[in-house]
Structure formats: structure tokens, C-alpha cells
A = this chain, B = another copy of it.
Amino acid sequence: MSGDDSGFEGGESVISQRIDATAGRARATTITTRRGSIATPCFMPVGTRATVRALDSGDLERLGTQVMLANTYHLIMRPGPEVVAAAGGLHRFMALDTHILTDSGGYQVFSLEPKVDDDGVTFRSTYDGDSHRFTPENVVEMQHQLGSDIQMVLDVCPPLPSSDAVIRTAVERTAAWARRAAVTHAGLRSGGSTQALFGIVQGGVDTTMRTESAQRTVDIGFDGYGIGGLSVGEPRHEMLPALEAALDELPVARPRYLMGVGDPRSIIEAVALGVDMFDCVLPTRLGRHGTVLTSQGRVNLRNRQWMNDPGPLDATCTCEVCARYSRAYLRHLLIVGEPTCRRLVTIHNVHWTFALVSSLRAAIVDGTFDTVRAELSQAWLAGALSPTWP
């Protein structure tokens, strides 16, 4: 690893990070921001359009959410940054006091067959077909209007597999854009902004390019570092070496955020490599379709075997849904298409994922990480209910 906080060169950071305990490369840390503190490893549920689908801000608070992720692309289109800004920013708009991280919108935009040039990216909105342009600068400014606690630079995120040339171009543009984003952000910060800005490491599954991208991003200096462009089609055995190569170059006392990854086995393995933060639509999307995350693997609630089952979704779970409702009742709601089921299983799956990362943190602190990691991996590999879990 390449040292510590001294890697940060963007002026005094608005974020600090304390390493509470380590277990090999794995780390339990406390990130402190102007809003409060975040215990890591940490999972961030995705609130695409300023709400986690089927939940409200009260649900997120009761779940103990530390950070919610919101999608800049969607919020720019609806309701528009000026509406959110007029409301006083995302926290006041949503009436939510947890941390909020906004992505750059790049991930969505690059799925829309955009025109990309060295200066930025032009695309047609899925909302109204209008042409829009994102640049490293205006993406920083729009996230400033949204008022998140942490914003991400605009990066170039190619699908995998992609040719070396495509990955090389992505690394080059991501670095150049990151430098421009940092300049814009430094201006806002000197104007009083307390938003943090994270850089993003690209490089596909080529460990050499991952190393280079990480070094160039660290050279610019950010409040924290996202590792992007993974879990975009490649198998896990290709993802982990690329992730490790990137992490090796990052300063110790800066948050590391593996973007878009949230399946339990990947979380476990990435925590083992030293990742602090995760986001993914998986727990919430699965929940809406009646797939339940449990200590025994994933469970299809639609299965007839639960028709008269009086037990909770997961016997070991302490969430409000497991405390109150039976599989029989929740299955009924699912079968007849009641939206109540979507909300309740989403609550369970988010709680379950929070409990997973909390258990990893506790194991790092207690010195039992290897044992807990092996047990969890085994349950998710061998669980009779989930033989094909990714």
C-alpha cells in the first residue's frame, strides 16, 4: 500500500477515517464527515429517484441506514436539480438525515449509446428523448445542487469484456476528467461547500491498468476512492485480482468504495481485500420480486412450500418484518400482487445486508474474521436453497 493520508492532495479533506481494527487486509474503520460518522464495512442501499423503491425515509432511519446512494442521472431528469436545490438539497427534500452519496450519472449515461469525446458525453434522456450533455465540470456542479454528502467524479465505465484499447481509453479519459472535476470541486469547496468528492479507479480486469489508474487517481488526490467498472459482466475470479491491484495503490486512511457490488459472496471477499463501502440494487430488486436473502442462502418466497409456513423469512433475523410476519402471509401478499409485499421483503433484505456487513465488522474487531468469512461463504456456497447463487 502506498502510505496514508498524505496521498490526499486536494486541500484539507472534509472526511477523516480512523482504522478501528484490521484482519489481514480487511479493515473496520470509522469515517467522519461534517454530517456524522459511518462505521465500515458499510452497505449503501440505492435510492434511485430520491427514495429506495417501496421504502420511505422513515423506513431507512428505522433500518439504521448510514448512507443512501441516489442516482444523479435520474434526479437531474426528474425532478431536476433546481427543484432539489430549492427544497434545500436532497436531505431536506427527502426529509432524511442519513448520509447521502450521489453517483455521477456516468454509469446510466454510458448505457444510453452516448456520443463520447474528450470533453464529455452527449446522450438522449430516457425520460423525454431530449439531448443532454454531461461534462466532468457540470456533473460536479449538479451534484452540488443536489447537496449530497459525497459526490463521485464522472468516469468512463466500459462493459466487460472490452478490448484493451477500450479499457485504455477509459483509463485515460477517467483520469483527465477526474482532474477537471477536482478543479471544479476545489472551487466549490473554497466557496464553502462541505461536500466530499471521490475519484474513481477504472482499468477493467487488467491488473496493470488497474494499478496505473489507481496511482493516477491518487496523484490527483480525493476524499475517497471508488473502484468502478467491476461486477459488469466478468466472473468473480477475474474481479478480485483487479480489485486487489487497485486497493494496493490507495492510501490507507481514505475510504474505499467498490461500486455496484452487493451480492453477499462478493461483499465478503471484497471486505477481505480491504473494501469499506458497497452499493447495489440487488437486495432491493430481489426483494421486490420475492427473493429473500437469508442465513441459509436465498429463498424464493413464491414457492408453494411456504404456503402454510408460520415462521419468519429468516429465523436468525432481527428485522421488524421477521419479528411480525410469517412466510405464509408474505407469500400470500406476493402471490396476489399486493405492493405491501414488495416493501416488507425489501425491508428484510436491506436489514439482512446491513447485518451481513455489521457481522463482518464485528468479526474484524473481535479477531474472528477468518472464521466468520469461511462460515458465511460456506452457507452461501452450499446452502441447499441457493445452489446457483452467483
Binding site for B on A (CB under 8 A): 49-51, 53-58, 74, 78-79, 83, 86-87, 93-95, 307-308, 310, 320, 324-326, 328-329, 332-333, 335-336, 338-340, 342-344
Contacts of A51 in B (CB 8 A): 333, 338, 340
Among candidates B56, B83, B328, residue contacting A332 with C-beta atoms closer than 8 Å? B83
Q: Which residue of B lies closest to A95 (CB)?
A: B324
Checking B83, B87, B329, B339 against A93 with a beta-carbon cut-off of 8 angstroms, the contacting residue is B329
Q: Which of B50, B56, B324 contacts A58 (CB 8 A)?
A: B324
Contact call A49/B94, Cβ cutoff below 8 A:
no
A87-B310, A87-B328, A326-B87 given as contacts; is B57 within 8 A of A335 (CB)?
no
Nearest first, the 5 A-B pairs at minimum CB distance are A79-B332, A51-B340, A95-B324, A49-B336, A86-B308
| Residues in B neighbouring A55, C-beta threshold 8 A | 340
Interface pairs (21), CB distance under 8 Å:
A49-B336, A50-B329, A50-B332, A51-B333, A51-B340, A53-B338, A54-B339, A55-B340, A58-B324, A78-B332, A79-B335, A83-B307, A83-B308, A83-B332, A86-B308, A86-B328, A87-B308, A87-B329, A93-B329, A95-B325, A339-B342
Evaluate contact between B93 and A328: CB separation under 8 angstroms: yes
Bound Cα distance A55, B340 (Å)? 6
User: Are A340 and B53 closer than 8 Å at their CB atoms?
Assistant: yes
Contact residues in B for A95 (Cβ distance below 8 Å): 324-326, 329
Given A49-B336, A51-B333, A343-B343, residue A307 in contact with residue B58 (CB < 8 A): no
What is the distance, in angstroms, from A78's C-beta to the closest C-beta of chain B?
5
Check B340 against A56 for contact (C-beta < 8 Å): yes
| Cβ-closest chain B residue relative to A337 | B49
Shortest distance from the beta carbon of A26 to any chain B beta carbon, whole Å:
35
Among candidates B78, B325, B326, residue contacting A336 with C-beta atoms closer than 8 Å: B78
A78 in complex: contacting residue of B324, B326, B335, CB < 8 Å: B335
A182 and B36 alpha carbons, distance in the complex (Å): 64
Bound complex: CA A308 to CA B49 (Å): 16
Say whether B320 contacts A58, CB under 8 Å: yes
B54 and A329 contact, CB distance less than 8 A: no
A50 / chain B contacts, CB cutoff of 8 Å: 329, 332-333
How far is the CB of A313 from the nearest CB of chain B, in Å?
Answer: 13
Among A49, A58, A307, A332, chain B packs the most CB atoms within 10 A around the CB of A332
> Across the interface, do A49 and B338 meet the contact criterion of CB distance under 8 Å?
yes
Known: A307-B79, A329-B93. A54 touches B340 (CB 8 A): yes
Contact between chains at A53 and B87 (CB < 8 Å): no
Could you say which of B307, B310, B339 contacts A53, with CB atoms under 8 Å apart? B339
Whole-angstrom distance between the alpha carbons of A53 and B74 in the complex? Answer: 27
B86, B328, B333: the one contacting A83 at CB < 8 Å is B328
With a 10 A CB-CB cut-off, give which of A79, A83, A308 has the most chain B CB atoms.
A79
The CB with the most chain B CB atoms within 10 A, among A95, A329, A342, is that of A329
- Chain B residue numbers with a CB within 8 Å of A74 are 336
CA–CA, A54 and B338, complex, Å: 7
Identity of the chain B residue whose Cβ is nearest the Cβ of A54 in the assembled complex: B339
- Which of A57, A320, A342 has the most chain B CB within a 10 Å cutoff? A57
Q: How far is the CA of A325 from the CA of B59 in the complex (A)?
A: 13
List the B side residues contacting A344 at CB < 8 Å. 56
